[in-house]
Structure 1
Amino acid sequence: MYVVIFRARIRQLDEDYRRSAERLRELALGRYGCLAFHALSEGEEEIALSYWPDEAAIRAWNNDPEHRQAQQLGRERWYAWHRVEVAQIERAYGAAP
């Protein structure tokens, strides 16, 4: 299993962002095999964690036309900067589902 960690400094989040984020979450989970998606913001910082079965699913998601358009809007309007990290999960344990 893999995790994609998206970190960003928020510039301005508007109604277009909220609609886009909701749509992209649906696409990731429904079409591209995303196992779970969690996003939080605190002050001017945002972090999103998405969990994927393999790198092929991550690549397919990254190449989705709607996702690409949202990435462009993110660079132009929504975020001052962003960083994406991809990591393979070697072990997971605990009581949460």
Structure 2
Amino acid sequence: MMLSAAFIFVDGALDEEFFRLDGLIEQAAKATDGYLGVERWVEPEGKKRNSTYYWRDDAALKSFSNNPIHLEAKRQYQKWYEGFHVIIARVEKTYGDGALDSFLPDNRAKFRS
């Protein structure tokens, strides 16, 4: 089993403090036991962003969620974002044709119909 946590947000006034905490959050995520990786997307207009983190299990996601740096950033979100939405999902299957590198466990195998 694996979890994904998609953090979807619209940029607001991003300042130096935002970028400092964002870098620290990235380090904290990578240092969390059970962190599998992250994928980031930006819509063509460039304001709405999606950072989807992948976790081995509930314990890994909970550990990251309780990280003090992550909690500090959450307390200040209103000054940086016009809005946000989080989607947490259980990943049952991943697959692909093997042409894209992936950190996800099942994606290295060729597609089978």
Whether TM exceeds 0.5 here: the answer is yes
RMSD between aligned residues: 1.4
Instruction: Report how far residue 40 of structure 1 moved.
Output: 3.3
> Which amino acid is 1:51 matched to?
Y
Q: How many corresponding residue pairs?
A: 96
- Correspondence for 2:24: 23
Equivalent pair of 2:34/2:57 in contact (CA under 8 Å): no
Q: Tell me, what secondary structure is at the counterpart of 2:39? A: strand
Gaps of 5+ in 2: 103-113
Question: What residue number does 1:87 align with?
Answer: 89
The answer for the alignment partner of 2:108 in structure 1 is none
Give the residue type in structure 1 aligned to 2:8: R
Q: Could you list the per-position Cα deviations for residues 22-68 of structure 1 after superposition, in whole angstroms to 9, with x for gaps in the alignment?
A: 11111111134311022333422111110000011111111111110
Task: Give the greater-gyration-radius structure (CA).
Answer: 2
Rounded to whole Å, the distance in 2 between the matches of 1:41 and 1:13 is 15
**3-state SS, counterpart of residue 35 of structure 1:** strand
Calculate the TM-score normalised by the size of structure 2. Answer: 0.77
Pair 41,60 (structure 1): closer, same or farther in 2 beyond 3 Å: same
- Per the normalisation by structure 1, the TM-score is 0.88
List, as ranges, runs of 4+ consecutive aligned residues in structure 1 with deviation greater than 6 Å. Answer: none
- Higher relative contact order by CA 8 Å / sep ≥ 6: 1 or 2? 1
Q: Secondary structure at the match of 2:53?
A: strand
Percent sequence identity over aligned pairs: 28
Q: Corresponding residue for 1:58?
A: 61
Which has the larger helix fraction? 1
Structure 1, unpaired ranges of 5+: none
* Whole-Å separation in 2 of the counterparts to 1:33 and 1:15: 29
